[in-house]
Structures are given as C-alpha cells and as structure tokens.
Amino acid sequence: MGEIRMPSLGADMESGRLAEWLVAPGDRIARGDVIAVVETQKGAIEIEAFEGGTVGRLEVAEGQTVPVGAPILSLEEPAAAAAAAAPPPSGAPAPTPEPAPAPAPERVSQPTAAPPAPEGVPQPAVPSPAPAAVEAAPPSRAAERVRASPAARRLAQRFGMDLAALTGSGPEDAVVSADVRRAREAERQAPTPERRAPEAGRARGLDLAEMRKAIAAAMARSKREIPHFYVATQVDLKAAADWLAETNAARPPDERMLMGALFLKATAKALLEHSVFNGTFEDGSARPGDGVHIGTAVAIRGGGLIAPAIHDCDRLSLDALMARMRDLVARVRGGGLRSSELTDPTVTVSSLGDRGVETLFGIIYPPQVALIGFGRVTETVLAVEGAPVVRPAVSISLAADHRVADGHRGGLFLRTLASLLQEPQSL
C-alpha cells in the first residue's frame, strides 16, 4: 500500500484544513492529478498526487485540519490491482464479482491539465433517486446538477455566485473557472450600489491577517538562520527597451510583452551558469535545484504576498513565459494555485518597480538560498564611450546565503545577468 501525505506548501506551513476531496475510493489517479483542495494561510491550494495508483481509502474527512506529513490518502499497490484484473487459473471457479460502489454524485474527476490555464474536465452527472412521497415538480436548471470543473465550483462559492446562472464554455458546455471570473468581472463593473463591502482583512477568500503572520514567521526564521549577504548593480537597458519596442510594435495590447518577461528569462539563463544560487539548503547541506523553477512574487490586492513557481523558466520562450506570468497573476488573485507551484521553487524573483522602488534588498525564503530583486526602470545618466548619455536602466540586487556562496560569486552572477539583458535577441 502506498500513501499520499499532506505536503508542506512553504516553510511557514505547519498544517492545512482539507476543504474538499476531488477523488473517491476506486478512482485511478496519475502523478500530477489534482486530488484535493487544502485551505492554508495562503488561501485554497489544489493538492496534486505525487504518485499514481488506485485510491484505496481517504484517511481524513473534509473539514479536518491535518499536520504536514500526515497521511491523507492510501493507494492500492499496482500488483494487487493487476492480480484482481487477471483471469482465474484453469479449472478454478470464476469469482463472483462484487457490485461496484455507486459513484458519489458530487464528485467530478479532474485529469492532469496542460498549461497555461488548467481546467478540470467534468464527467456526466449521476442522477439522484427521487425521494419517496414527494410531489414531483417541473425540473429547473437550478435544481439539476450543473456541469462545472472543481475550480469553477470553488470560485463560484467564494464569490457567492450561482453556477446555474452562468453560461459554460468548457467541454459539453461545462462551466470553467474562466467563465466564473468573466461573470465576476462583469458583476464588479456593473452599477450595484447595494453590494456589500468585503469583510475587513479578507480578499478573495484569503485571510490576510493570517497570511501576514505566516510571512512574518518565515522572514524571522530566514534572518535568524540564514547568513545573508547582498550585492547589487545597475544595468543599461537601452538594447532591451529598443528590442521590446520593436517586438511589440505590430502586436495588439493584450499580446505585448513586458520587460518583466525579459528579467525572468535572463535570470533563468544566468542561473544555469551560476547554479549555486539555484537550489536549497536543508539538513546542513546545499541541494541543487532539479530545474530552474522561479518563484515569482505577486502582490495580493488588499495586502499580502505569495511567490508561486513558474517551472522550467530556462526552457520557455519569451512569449510562453509572458503567458505564464499573466496566468499566474490571474490565479493568485482569483484562486486556483496548485501545490507544486508552492512546494518546489528553486529561487525567488521579486520586483517593486511598479511601486516606484528603485532598489530592492530582499529576504531569502527558506529553504532557498537566493532572492533576486529588480527595481524600477528609470531614465539614468550613464557613461557610454566616455560621454554622459541618458538611458533606461534598472538596479538589480542579489540576496544570497553565505553558507553556499560569497560576494565574488554573487558579482559574477550579476555580471552574467547584465550581459544577457544587453543582448535581448539571445533570450
């Protein structure tokens, strides 16, 4: 028997509340399938399976708070499943098949989705038997099972929206999360003076006061345990700005690339050359990252911050990276983050340039060993070929763990990053 345990979704997490199961005993699951929704101080997170198999038993009930590392689901061994499916030996009486368990009417299986916008594929609903001694009434759509992905159901519940009133754009006209967000945005823009203000200290299902406590605890631990050192440099962005303007000239506004995509891609490529800054420090030793998974800091409206990972940034094209960035921001602010996006960032990138900050000196998020900060792009007087010229420039900083590197290596990393940004066509 295998098992799946409550994952740690960050250094600040000790337990999580299992809000919803998305699988039932007997379901076949593969690695990466979403199996449950867990509520943490960072909001509602979709938990993915770390291995495949057949669901044996749900170890915890919905609504139960579970410590990190505790079993939440058991898996039947593949050998047992194969033996059950094998024909009986010659001459042996065929076993009498046991009746299959009735599927739960509220379960919707959700296979692994392809990026950039994961959605569940709903299955046909199982009709509930009509209760006895109840007068039949004409069926209405509101009374019937509405086809909807699990993510759409959670969003609708969070926003207080009626799924039956929405038009679905998913498979078989199922309601998907994009439909809920579209309806939510239309509702927000409509004149509704009677709409109540959101509860103080909360935004889109997040308890911002609890999130602030979690952030403070993680940062206090970081400054207490990690010997930080900082280096910074100023980078000439004229070549990058010119290339970006030329690239965006023929594009509609919603397809234009932002400078942030170049920052992430250049950072990823620089980390390939200076891999000491891409990984974690755990149990007294450094561990290299299994890929360049950049935790991208996103501010939450109303306060709070979260840094889910964009995986394999070094392998993504600039357009694909820009699409991932847009998708990530939308899901952070609207719901739908996955556990893998919070459990395996190998480094964090943060930027406060849109807030007017020219230089950012960050605090490393444990167990990572580095954080790269980007400031505001400003018109700056630089010396070019011995003459002062005004050019766009940005301040880039590196906060790193002295247990794995030093200022010399940090300086080499920043030099490589600066060189890449001055050759944007190579990204």
Amino acid in the structure at residue 266? A
Pairing type for strands 337-338 and 28-29 reads: unpaired
Give the closest residue to 294 by CA, choosing from 274, 275, 312.
312
Residue 409, pLDDT score: 97
Q: How confident is the model at residue 273 (pLDDT cuts 50, 70, 90)?
A: very high
Average pLDDT over residues 286-302: 88
The tokens for 326 are: 């847009």
Average pLDDT over residues 191-217: 56
Q: Domain spanning 218-426: which superfamily?
A: Chloramphenicol acetyltransferase-like domain (3.30.559.10)
Residue 173, pLDDT score: 74
Residue 9, pLDDT score: 75
Q: Which of the residue ranges 62-71, 172-181, 295-304, 392-401 would you say has the lowest mean pLDDT?
A: 172-181
Q: How do residues 140-199 score in pLDDT, each as one tens digit?
A: 334 346 777 766 777 777 677 888 888 877 666 778 767 776 787 676 555 444 333 334
DSSP string, 190-227: S--TTPPPPPTTEETTEEHHHHHHHHHHHHHHHHHHS-
52 within 8 A of 30, measured Cβ to Cβ: yes
> What is the CA angle 42-46-51, rounded to 5?
130
Q: How do residues 97-130 score in pLDDT, each as one tens digit?
A: 444 444 444 443 444 444 443 443 334 333 333 3
